Protein backbone atom coordinates (compact mmCIF):
# COMPACT_ATOMS: atom_id res chain seq x y z
CA UNK A 1 0.00 0.00 0.00
CA UNK A 2 1.21 3.51 -0.83
CA UNK A 3 2.42 5.60 2.07
CA UNK A 4 1.17 9.05 1.17
CA UNK A 5 3.12 10.64 4.02
CA UNK A 6 6.31 9.10 2.62
CA UNK A 7 5.42 10.22 -0.90
CA UNK A 8 4.75 13.75 0.39
CA UNK A 9 8.18 13.80 2.01
CA UNK A 10 9.90 12.63 -1.17
CA UNK A 11 8.10 15.22 -3.33
CA UNK A 12 8.73 18.02 -0.84
CA UNK A 13 12.45 17.25 -0.56
CA UNK A 14 13.11 16.43 -4.22
CA UNK A 15 11.23 19.42 -5.60
CA UNK A 16 12.18 21.83 -2.83
CA UNK A 17 8.53 22.58 -2.14
CA UNK A 18 7.63 25.25 0.39
CA UNK A 19 3.98 24.16 0.52
CA UNK A 20 2.40 20.75 0.83
CA UNK A 21 1.76 18.97 -2.49
CA UNK A 22 -1.85 18.69 -3.63
CA UNK A 23 -3.40 15.61 -5.21
CA UNK A 24 -6.52 15.33 -7.32
CA UNK A 25 -8.45 12.40 -8.70
CA UNK A 26 -11.27 12.21 -11.21
CA UNK A 27 -13.69 9.69 -9.74
CA UNK A 28 -17.18 8.43 -10.44
CA UNK A 29 -18.09 8.38 -6.74
CA UNK A 30 -17.17 10.30 -3.62
CA UNK A 31 -13.95 9.13 -1.96
CA UNK A 32 -14.66 7.38 1.35
CA UNK A 33 -14.01 9.50 4.42
CA UNK A 34 -13.60 12.77 2.50
CA UNK A 35 -16.06 15.63 3.01
CA UNK A 36 -17.88 17.27 0.13
CA UNK A 37 -16.89 20.90 -0.48
CA UNK A 38 -19.52 23.38 0.65
CA UNK A 39 -19.73 27.00 -0.41
CA UNK A 40 -18.60 28.71 -3.58
CA UNK A 41 -15.29 29.73 -5.07
CA UNK A 42 -14.61 32.25 -7.85
CA UNK A 43 -12.45 29.87 -9.84
CA UNK A 44 -11.22 26.33 -10.08
CA UNK A 45 -7.75 27.51 -9.06
CA UNK A 46 -9.21 28.54 -5.71
CA UNK A 47 -9.65 24.87 -4.87
CA UNK A 48 -5.90 24.35 -5.27
CA UNK A 49 -5.21 27.00 -2.62
CA UNK A 50 -7.75 25.50 -0.23
CA UNK A 51 -6.16 22.08 -0.66
CA UNK A 52 -2.63 23.49 -0.30
CA UNK A 53 -3.73 25.09 2.97
CA UNK A 54 -4.54 21.61 4.25
CA UNK A 55 -8.14 21.13 3.16
CA UNK A 56 -9.23 17.67 2.09
CA UNK A 57 -12.52 17.66 0.19
CA UNK A 58 -14.17 16.61 -3.01
CA UNK A 59 -16.07 18.78 -5.44
CA UNK A 60 -18.96 18.20 -7.77
CA UNK A 61 -19.09 19.51 -11.36
CA UNK A 62 -21.36 22.42 -10.39
CA UNK A 63 -18.72 23.68 -7.95
CA UNK A 64 -16.60 24.61 -10.98
CA UNK A 65 -19.17 26.54 -13.00
CA UNK A 66 -17.81 29.93 -11.84
CA UNK A 67 -14.71 29.29 -13.93
CA UNK A 68 -15.51 28.48 -17.54
CA UNK A 69 -11.83 27.96 -18.41
CA UNK A 70 -11.33 25.54 -15.51
CA UNK A 71 -14.57 23.78 -16.37
CA UNK A 72 -13.32 23.35 -19.92
CA UNK A 73 -9.90 22.03 -18.92
CA UNK A 74 -11.54 19.55 -16.51
CA UNK A 75 -14.06 18.52 -19.20
CA UNK A 76 -17.01 19.76 -17.14
CA UNK A 77 -19.68 21.01 -19.55
CA UNK A 78 -21.26 24.27 -18.46
CA UNK A 79 -25.05 24.42 -18.26
CA UNK A 80 -26.70 25.72 -21.45
CA UNK A 81 -27.46 29.08 -19.85
CA UNK A 82 -23.75 29.56 -19.02
CA UNK A 83 -22.16 27.98 -22.10
CA UNK A 84 -21.45 31.38 -23.71
CA UNK A 85 -19.16 32.31 -20.82
CA UNK A 86 -16.16 30.35 -22.12
CA UNK A 87 -15.78 32.28 -25.39
CA UNK A 88 -16.48 35.53 -23.54
CA UNK A 89 -13.77 34.91 -20.94
CA UNK A 90 -11.28 33.75 -23.58
CA UNK A 91 -12.04 36.89 -25.59
CA UNK A 92 -11.35 39.13 -22.60
CA UNK A 93 -8.15 37.26 -21.79
CA UNK A 94 -6.96 37.54 -25.40
CA UNK A 95 -7.67 41.27 -25.47
CA UNK A 96 -5.71 41.78 -22.26
CA UNK A 97 -2.63 40.16 -23.76
CA UNK A 98 -2.64 42.12 -27.01
pLDDT in tens, 68-97: 999 999 899 999 999 999 999 999 999 987
Owning domain of residue 36 = 26-97
Whether 10 is covered by a domain: the verdict is: no
The count of domains in the chain is 1
Whether 5 is covered by a domain: the verdict is: no
Whether 58 is covered by a domain: the verdict is: yes
Whether 34 is covered by a domain: the verdict is: yes
Whether 85 is covered by a domain: the verdict is: yes
HEC sequence for the chain = CCCHHHHHHHHHHHHCCCCCCCCCCCCCCCCCCCEECCCCCCCCHHHHHHHHCCCCEECCHHHHCCCHHHHHHCCCCCCHHHCCHHHHHHHHHHHHHC
27 pLDDT more than 80: yes
Asked if 36 contacts 46 with a C-beta cutoff of 8 angstroms, the reply is no
Question: Which pTM was predicted?
Answer: 0.76
Whether 47 is covered by a domain: the verdict is: yes
Whether 62 is covered by a domain: the verdict is: yes
Q: How many residues belong to the chain? A: 98
Amino acid sequence: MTSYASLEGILTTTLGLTRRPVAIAFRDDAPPGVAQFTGTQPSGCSFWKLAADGGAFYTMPGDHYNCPVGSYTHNIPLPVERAQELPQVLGVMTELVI
